[in-house]
Amino acid sequence: MNPLTQLCEAALFAASRPLTVEELATLDPEATGADVRAALDELREHYEFGQHGVELVELAGGYQVLTRAVHAAAIERAQFSVRANRLSPAALETLAVIAYRQPVGRAEIEEIRGVSAGGVLRSLQERSLIEVVGRSEGMGRPLLYGTSPLFLELLGLRDLADLPKAEELTIALQPHRPEAEGPDDAEAYVPAES
Amino acid sequence: MMVRAAAPPTTALGAEPGFVVQLEAFSGPLDLLLHLLREEQIEIADIPIARICDQFLKAIHELGLNQAADYLEMASRLVRLKVQLLLPRSLDDEGWEDPRAELVRRLLEYQQIREIAQWMGSAAERRAEQLARGYLPPVPASPLPPLVLDLLAMLQAVERVIAAIPAPVLHRVVARPLDVEGAQRRIEALLEASSEISWLDALGPDPTIADVLSVLLALLELARRGALQLRQPAPFAPMVIARESAHPAV
């Protein structure tokens, strides 16, 4: 393995959050973004073809080493780690409105959902899934909310463009395509099982 | 009929439910409305308002939601729509707009949000199957090692600390002891001279606060010992301090 690949692997192992290419490039003053990207590709293939228990996942604008989904149940049973709590329907609906309408104020969220949103907004803010991104020019200058990087992390999205497009939604409850992959990195993202 | 409402709140008949607990089954009035439409297999764009309005009212009553503001607001909207549609209108009315249009728009919008929410929920579930490295909370700062210093160094440190205190201002507490014994002697002397004295007699000329308190305590003490009698002939009348004849003051 390339020394830079080893270094990236060590950094991704040490960090408890996704690291961006720019952040990883600070590991080595000689390394360019392209070098880091090549190293990440090598690391991904290494995990993929060496049949490892972990894989390199691209999410929230960065990269993170995560365990493969097949191992989650056993790890949780042994109480070494826990899966994140599920979000309530009210929290998910509120997040959906914010994700698609951001920056958005509380009044608009309540109008769309037909219920008051104060409590849900507070708990989403406490979980750092949303953040205040500004104030509206309207009366009382209400707070405007947007989604946080942690929101992308929680959903396993690379960025907001990974959310389903509005035009794909017209028919309700359509089974969703597993991953929105660009054509360039499609072959690198072989599903875990195969 | 309410398949999704696993546990409707049990409110005793006739009892006033003062507080409404929102059911997990429905995340809001629009959700309930969509549920009713789905159950009746009705297209959102062509809602039979009168029927849906009645069903909505019945449902929120059954579910004990008829006191939740969000549901009540939707109920009143539906009733208003029903009334608007019942009003007669001329057939050639060109400018007539379907009053349901706004409701239909909101329902479609909400349905889309629901669909996104569902997608996001399963995305989060898929993501939760992959675990990141365990988060370890930062180790709390360990206690400082034991101090090693001699007496001189410590005294110098104390001096430095004291020197750093800006001009110490100390509040002096002035002791003003009450002279209860003196007051007792004075009252006893007065009662030797006359069998009855007044409160003002007992106080003497120009009493200070300490004097007043001393006399009061002395009077109470002497009365407790039975050395004198305290009498008040009428409400708010001046206190009469009388010699106790049976037990003459010592």
Using the beta-carbon criterion (under 8 Å), do A84 and B119 form an inter-chain contact?
A: no
- Residues in chain A with CB shorter than 8 Å from the CB of B34 are none
The pLDDT score that the predictor gives to residue A98 is: 92
The pLDDT score that the predictor gives to residue A186 is: 36
The pLDDT score that the predictor gives to residue B24 is: 54
Q: Are B196 and B242 a contacting pair, CB within 8 Å?
A: yes
Identify the weakest region by mean pLDDT among A148-157, B139-148, B232-241.
Answer: B139-148
Closest alpha carbon within chain A to B136: A16
What distances in angstroms separate CA B25 from CA A75, A96, B7, B29, one per listed residue? 32, 19, 9, 11
Using the beta-carbon criterion (under 8 Å), do B27 and A99 form an inter-chain contact?
A: no
Using the beta-carbon criterion (under 8 Å), do B128 and A100 form an inter-chain contact?
A: no
Residue carrying the six token digits 């604008």: A61
- Residues in chain A with CB shorter than 8 Å from the CB of B25 are none
B222 vs A165: CA distance, rounded Å? 95
Residue range A136-146, pLDDT digits in tens: 887 888 899 99
Q: pLDDT by residue for chain A (194 residues), tens digit each?
A: 888 999 999 999 988 789 999 999 998 888 888 999 999 999 999 998 878 999 999 988 899 999 999 998 898 888 888 888 888 888 999 999 999 888 888 988 988 888 888 889 999 998 889 999 988 887 888 899 999 998 998 999 998 888 888 666 654 333 333 333 333 333 333 334 33
- For B53-107, the DSSP string reads HHHHHHHHHHTT-TT-HHHHHHHHHHHHHHHHHHS---TT-TT---TTHHHHHHH
The pLDDT score that the predictor gives to residue A43 is: 93
pLDDT band at B9 (very low <50, low <70, confident <90, very high): very low
> What are phi and psi for residue A56, nearest 5 degrees?
-90, 125
B146 vs B93: CA distance, rounded Å? 94
The pLDDT score that the predictor gives to residue A181 is: 37
A122 vs A99: CA distance, rounded Å? 16
Using the beta-carbon criterion (under 8 Å), do A112 and B115 form an inter-chain contact?
A: no
Q: Which of left, alpha, beta for B138 (phi over 0: left; psi -120 to 50: alpha)?
A: beta
Identify the weakest region by mean pLDDT among A87-101, A116-130, B5-19, B218-232.
Answer: B5-19
Sequence-distant (6+) residues with CB within 8 A of A135 are A141, A142, A143, A144
The pLDDT score that the predictor gives to residue B179 is: 85
- Residues in chain B with CB shorter than 8 Å from the CB of A97 are 113
- Give the pair of three-digit tokens for residue A120: 């849900």
The pLDDT score that the predictor gives to residue A172 is: 39
The pLDDT score that the predictor gives to residue A169 is: 65
Name the residue facing A72 among B113, B130, B135 (closest C-beta).
B130
Query: Does position B7 have pLDDT exceeding 50, yes or no?
Result: no
Q: Which fold has domain A89-168?
A: Arc Repressor Mutant, subunit A (1.10.10)
- Give the pair of three-digit tokens for residue A140: 């009382």
- Compare B17 and B201 and report the one with higher pLDDT: B201
Query: Does position B137 have pLDDT exceeding 50, yes or no?
Result: no
A116 to chain B nearest CA, in Å?
7
- Compare B35 and B9 and report the one with higher pLDDT: B35
Name the residue facing A16 among B113, B114, B133 (closest C-beta).
B133
Query: Does position B213 have pLDDT exceeding 60, yes or no?
Result: yes
Using the beta-carbon criterion (under 8 Å), do A81 and B131 form an inter-chain contact?
A: yes
Using the beta-carbon criterion (under 8 Å), do B130 and A69 form an inter-chain contact?
A: yes
A-contacting residues of B 20-79, CB under 8 Å? 24, 27-31, 69-70, 73-74
Residue carrying the six token digits 């393995």: A1
Using the beta-carbon criterion (under 8 Å), do B130 and A90 form an inter-chain contact?
A: no
> DSSP class of residue B218?
H
Q: What is the mean pLDDT of residues B18-40?
A: 71
B22 vs B9: CA distance, rounded Å? 9
Using the beta-carbon criterion (under 8 Å), do B106 and A163 form an inter-chain contact?
A: no
Q: Are B191 and B228 a contacting pair, CB within 8 Å?
A: yes
Query: How many of the other CB atoms lie within 10 Å of CB of B38?
Result: 11
Residue spans per domain, chain A: 3-77, 89-168
- Compare B68 and A86 and report the one with higher pLDDT: A86
pLDDT band at B3 (very low <50, low <70, confident <90, very high): very low
Residue range B157-196, pLDDT digits in tens: 899 998 888 776 777 777 777 888 888 898 888 888 888 8
B236 vs B232: CA distance, rounded Å? 8
Using the beta-carbon criterion (under 8 Å), do B134 and A81 form an inter-chain contact?
A: yes
- Compare B202 and A189 and report the one with higher pLDDT: B202
3-state DSSP assignment of residue B157: helix
pLDDT band at B139 (very low <50, low <70, confident <90, very high): low
B184 vs A56: CA distance, rounded Å? 94
- Residues in chain A with CB shorter than 8 Å from the CB of B21 are none
Residue carrying the six token digits 């629009």: B30
Q: Which of B129, B135, B136 to mutate to test the interface with A (most CBs of A within 10 A)?
A: B129
Residue carrying the six token digits 């180790």: B139
pLDDT band at B200 (very low <50, low <70, confident <90, very high): confident
The pLDDT score that the predictor gives to residue A64 is: 92
- Give the pair of three-digit tokens for residue B89: 């209108």
> What are phi and psi for residue A140, nearest 5 degrees?
75, 0
Q: Which CATH superfamily is domain B180-243 in?
A: Structural maintenance of chromosome 1. Chain E (1.10.10.580)
**Common-topology check for domains A3-77 and A89-168:** yes
Q: What is the mean pLDDT of residues B107-111?
A: 85
Using the beta-carbon criterion (under 8 Å), do B28 and A113 form an inter-chain contact?
A: yes
Tell which CATH classification among 1.10.10.10, 1.10.150.20, 1.10.3720.10, 3.30.470.10 matches the domain A3-77: 1.10.10.10
The pLDDT score that the predictor gives to residue B115 is: 86
- Give the pair of three-digit tokens for residue B128: 């939760």
- For chain A, the DSSP string reads --HHHHHHHHHHHH-SS-B-HHHHHTT-TT--HHHHHHHHHHHHHHHHHTT-SEEEEEETTEEEEEE-GGGHHHHHHTTS--PPPPPPHHHHHHHHHHHHH-SEEHHHHHHHHSS--HHHHHHHHHTTSEEEEEE-SSTT--EEEEE-HHHHHHHT-SSGGGSPPGGG-SSTTPPPPS----STTTTT---TT-
Name the residue facing A93 among B69, B106, B113 (closest C-beta).
B113
Q: Measured between CB atoms, does B155 come within 8 Å of chain A?
A: no
A69 to chain B nearest CA, in Å?
5
A80 to chain B nearest CA, in Å?
8
Residue spans per domain, chain B: 29-86+98-125, 180-243
